[in-house]
A = this chain, B = another copy of it.
């Protein structure tokens, strides 16, 4: 039985605890949150005891930790968990600073503990199937990757201000997906952005509408576009054009019903947001983490993937600010 401690009992912590309850051979063995009521609620649901975070990390009843606390606490928790020899499952972003992520990498490497960065979209059954077909060679070598990603509605401007900006907060998922699908590191990034959805987002120094072009050393191209608002639901599409064909992932709609009237044929909006859209991805990523610990294989994506996505997001942010393409720094 793998005993997992939950650090952070907010929305995403509860999602991961729910996933663990559906996985044979794993259980939630302790929970922790800075807000006592949040910890208590999850403790009742899981039957696991409440601990403070330091005690949870050091406890013999915990083999692995799930870090779902605010981003600025990740650094300390990762160091503590690595020192305590616990396997780590960490929400993205690992940290807002690439240098601090590098510090975490060193600590994790020194401790030799397994580390997984929670890029959940890689585990969406549809996207995972696309990746499987791609790596199986079904469309030959990837040449152009196109990612269209739109949130249903923007977060409050107060959130925007501490979010690190659209490239680090929202597009980072797409930048990770680009790396996943290109099979090769991007070497240049060019970014554009505007505040078309909400002028206050612009006044706060951020964009709500953005697009990026990535290129790789061998000449592959990736185009990503983001909007913070889509009236028709959570728009999540990817496609890969390859030498022998094309792979495409459509939106997942709320239901399959089609209604035909004089206006034509109508189907449902896209599933509203990430908790619905990626419900099975959250389960699958935790299954992967548990299975990796069971077999001793390193979980993937690892801490280096968390670093590289952050480096890409930083570079995109600089490109947007300068209006110039930016070379992606090596690790």
Contacts and interface: CB of A to CB of B under 8 A. Distances in A.
A213 interface: yes
Contacts of A266: 263-267
Interface string A210-226: 11010100111101010
B227 A261 contact: no
A126 to B, nearest CB: 4
Nearest to A207: B219
A197 B133 CA distance: 21
Given A264-B267, A267-B264, A256 B225 contact: no
Interface string A238-267: 000101111111111111111111111111
A298 interface: no
B223 A211 contact: yes
A247 B241 contact: no
A203 to B, nearest CB: 14
B241 A227 contact: yes
The complex is assembled from copies of this chain, and their number is 4
A260 B243 contact: no
A259 B230 contact: no
B192 A130 contact: no
Contacts of A218: 194, 196
Interface residues of A, number: 68
Given A219-B194, A221-B194, A269-B263, A245 B232 contact: yes
Given A221-B209, A264-B232, A250 B258 contact: yes
Interface in A69-92: none
Contacts of A241: 150, 225, 227, 230
Interface stretch (A50-58, A95-103, A136-144): A136-144
A106 interface: no
A163 interface: no
A78 to B, nearest CB: 33
A49 interface: no
Contacts of A288: none
Chain B CB count within 10 A is highest, among A139, A220, A223, A247, for: A223
A323 interface: yes
A129 interface: yes
Contacts of A126: 255-257
